[in-house]
């Protein structure tokens, strides 16, 4: 009996010890998920120069983390132009040397990295870190849609709306009303052309400002998800709606609404033209506010520039409150490099970035914030109000296209602007490339 009792006791103790050991392992494992004391050299590959607002936010917050939380944490910041980031990352992937954190591109590029298990599942990590509530819901929906995934594999680093910006002085001098519908936009453009004023500046050399115009008309006439459907084969790019949208832009170019040779103008020049009164309107994103609030770039002051969104074509298809939005280029974390020290940085970043960007830079980054800057610039306030009042959003023309189709869509829009290709030809060329690659 004694022996049996001893055996039971021994077994019980062994089980208790095992349970305790397992428990302590679990606790250790949980603790190891966040390490805010060990050494780590954190490599960042960004598409923003160190002296840009984006660069300053990222570097400033990381330095604040080092100062306040983990003095053993260090970082390397490498800048690469956005046009080269895909090439750079694909080279690093091939050599299995992705940086800890890097800016990337939506659509097929990010989908390829997700499929190859190269990226951290951000949804799961944020849940572990208790940081899920810090991502803006609109940004989250946009990121999920643009990466075609059910869970987040990227972080936002912007919260932009797009639409037409206009020069108030030129409108006043020409006696023109701010257009609310596309027909009114065309009438206003005619009015400007008659008065010898260039109605719209388009940075056709950079291509995307021109494709955004096709996209704007397409989503106003076909709905917000038309481009996504075509990119996933549920519609065709040579469908009538897309042809009408591309033909509309070809027609506007032919009527000289974009001036002479808009194909040769880059977007920085187009922005400068609006700010200096050389054109009446410009299609651009809310990142343009940094130029509007810059006194050197905008001598007439920010009160001279207004935002009017994209004119409506059919309110029943797309309401005025539906605006094109994007979260800038996404940030992703390399799965191979992700460890407890990175988790420590990530937790700090998630908790602070919204407030840090808003209070220090008057900038929305796609994260929630609780602080308000002392004096929000009127134009930034207008943008923030528009984002907050937007009922739904839509992505841009090439957002969901595979890379080769995207290249065709972006290149051939220049031929539409120069009058060497009509709307139907443009849409057919995109569909042809799409078919060749699917």
Partner 1 sequence: MKSVLRNKKAIALFVLPSFILYTIFVIVPIGCTCIYALYSGTPGLNWKFVGLANCRKLLMDPKVKMAFIFTMKYVGMILFGQVGLGLLLALMFRFWIKRFNNLVRTITFFPIVLPLIAVGQLFRKIFEIQPNYGLFNSILANIGLTEYVEAWLGRPQTALICLVVMGLWNSIGFYAVIIYGGLLDISNDIIEAAQIDGARPIQLFKSILFPLLRPIIITCVVFSFTGSIKVFESIVALTKGGPGEATVSLAKLMYDTAFEAGNYGYGSAISMVIFVVCILGAYVIRRFDSKEV
Of residues 47-66, those binding partner 1 (CB under 8 A): none
336 forms part of the interface with partner 1 (CB under 8 A): no
Q: Which helix (H) or strand (E) holds 325?
A: strand 322-326
408 to each of 16, 88, 429, how far by Cα in Å?
A: 66, 21, 7
Strands 331-333 and 101-103 turn out to be antiparallel
Closest approach of Cβ 286 to partner 1, in Å? Answer: 23
Residue from 33, 53, 59, 93 binding partner 1 (CB under 8 A):
93
Nearer Cβ to partner 1 (320/407): 407
* DSSP codes joined into one string, 369-409: -----SS--HHHHHHHHHHHH--EEE--TTTTS-HHHHHHH
Query: Per-residue string for binding with partner 1, 362-401, x by CB under 8 A?
Result: ----------------------------------------
Closest approach of Cβ 404 to partner 1, in Å? Answer: 5
Nearer Cβ to partner 1 (86/297): 86
Nearer Cβ to partner 1 (118/140): 118
Q: What is the CA radius of gyration of the chain?
A: 26
417 forms part of the interface with partner 1 (CB under 8 A): yes
Query: What is the residue whose two structure tokens read 């260090």?
Result: 74
Contacts of 72 (CB under 8 A, 6+ apart): 37, 38, 39, 40
Extract the tokens encoding 76: 């390397």
Could you give phi then psi for residue 55, rounded to 5 degrees? -65, -45
* Vertex 30: Cα angle to 25 and 32 (nearest 5): 90
Residue from 40, 43, 118, 140 binding partner 1 (CB under 8 A):
118
Closest approach of Cβ 162 to partner 1, in Å? Answer: 22
147 forms part of the interface with partner 1 (CB under 8 A): no
Query: Per-residue string for binding with partner 1, 254-293, x by CB under 8 A?
Result: -----xxxxxxx---x--xx----x---------------
Closest approach of Cβ 227 to partner 1, in Å? Answer: 19
Closest approach of Cβ 201 to partner 1, in Å? Answer: 8
Provide the 8-state DSSP code for 344.
H
Query: What is the residue whose two structure tokens read 């944020």?
Result: 126
Nearer Cβ to partner 1 (109/309): 109
* Whole-angstrom distance, CA of residue 74 vs CA of residue 58: 13
116 forms part of the interface with partner 1 (CB under 8 A): yes
* Whole-angstrom distance, CA of residue 369 vs CA of residue 355: 5
* Whole-angstrom distance, CA of residue 355 vs CA of residue 363: 9
Query: Per-residue string for binding with partner 1, 185-214, x by CB under 8 A?
Result: ----------------x--xx-x-------
Could you give phi then psi for residue 99, rounded to 5 degrees? -70, 170
Closest approach of Cβ 31 to partner 1, in Å? Answer: 33
Residue from 110, 113, 185, 281 binding partner 1 (CB under 8 A):
113
86 forms part of the interface with partner 1 (CB under 8 A): yes
Residue from 94, 150, 374, 375 binding partner 1 (CB under 8 A):
94
112 forms part of the interface with partner 1 (CB under 8 A): yes
**Contact present, 339 and 73 (Cβ < 8 Å):** no
Nearer Cβ to partner 1 (43/220): 43
308 to each of 69, 84, 151, 173, how far by Cα in Å?
A: 44, 32, 34, 18
Residues that bind partner 1 (CB under 8 A): 86-87, 90-91, 93-96, 109, 112-113, 115-116, 118, 201, 204-205, 207, 259-265, 269, 272-273, 278, 403-404, 407-408, 411-412, 414-415, 417-418, 420-421, 432, 436
């Amino acid at each position: 009996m004694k022996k049996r009792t001893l055996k039971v006791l021994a077994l019980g103790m062994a089980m208790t010890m095992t349970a305790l050991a397992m428990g302590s392992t679990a606790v250790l494992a949980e603790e190891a998920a966040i390490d805010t004391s060990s050494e780590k050299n954190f490599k960042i590959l960004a598409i923003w120069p160190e002296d840009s607002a984006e660069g300053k936010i990222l570097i400033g917050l990381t330095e604040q983390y080092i100062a306040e939380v983990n003095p053993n944490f260090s970082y390397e910041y490498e800048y690469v132009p956005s046009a080269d980031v895909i090439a750079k990352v694909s080279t690093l992937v091939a050599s299995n040397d992705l940086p800890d954190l890097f800016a990337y591109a939506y659509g097929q590029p990010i989908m390829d990295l997700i499929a190859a298990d190269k990226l951290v599942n951000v949804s799961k990590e944020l849940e572990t870190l208790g940081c899920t509530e810090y991502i803006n819901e609109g940004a989250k929906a946009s990121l999920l849609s643009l990466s075609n995934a059910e869970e987040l594999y990227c972080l936002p680093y912007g919260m932009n709306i797009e639409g037409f910006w206009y020069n108030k002085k030129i409108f006043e001098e020409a006696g023109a009303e701010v257009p609310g519908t596309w027909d009114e936009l065309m009438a206003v453009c005619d009015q400007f052309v008659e008065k010898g004023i260039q109605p719209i500046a388009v940075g056709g050399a950079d291509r995307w400002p021109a494709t955004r115009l096709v996209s704007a008309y397409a989503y106003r006439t076909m709905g917000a998800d038309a481009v996504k459907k075509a990119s996933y084969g549920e519609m065709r790019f040579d469908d009538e709606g897309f042809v009408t949208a591309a033909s509309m832009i070809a027609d506007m170019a032919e009527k000289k609404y974009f001036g002479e040779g808009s194909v040769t103008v880059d977007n920085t020049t187009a922005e400068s033209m609006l700010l200096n009164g050389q054109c009446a309107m410009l299609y651009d994103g809310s990142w343009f506010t940094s130029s509007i609030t810059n006194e050197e770039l905008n001598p007439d002051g920010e009160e001279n520039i207004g935002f009017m969104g994209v004119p409506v074509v059919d309110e029943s298809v797309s309401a005025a409150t539906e605006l094109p939005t994007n979260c800038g280029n996404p940030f992703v974390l390399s799965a191979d490099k992700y460890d407890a020290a990175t988790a420590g940085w990530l937790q700090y970043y998630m908790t602070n970035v919204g407030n840090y960007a808003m209070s220090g830079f008057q900038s929305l980054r796609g994260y929630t914030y609780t602080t308000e800057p002392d004096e929000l610039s009127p134009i930034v306030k207008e943008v923030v109000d528009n984002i907050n009042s937007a009922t739904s959003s839509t992505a841009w023309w090439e957002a969901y296209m595979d890379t080769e189709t995207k290249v065709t869509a972006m290149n051939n829009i220049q031929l539409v602007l120069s009058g060497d290709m009509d709307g139907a030809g443009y849409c057919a060329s995109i569909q042809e490339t799409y078919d060749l690659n699917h």
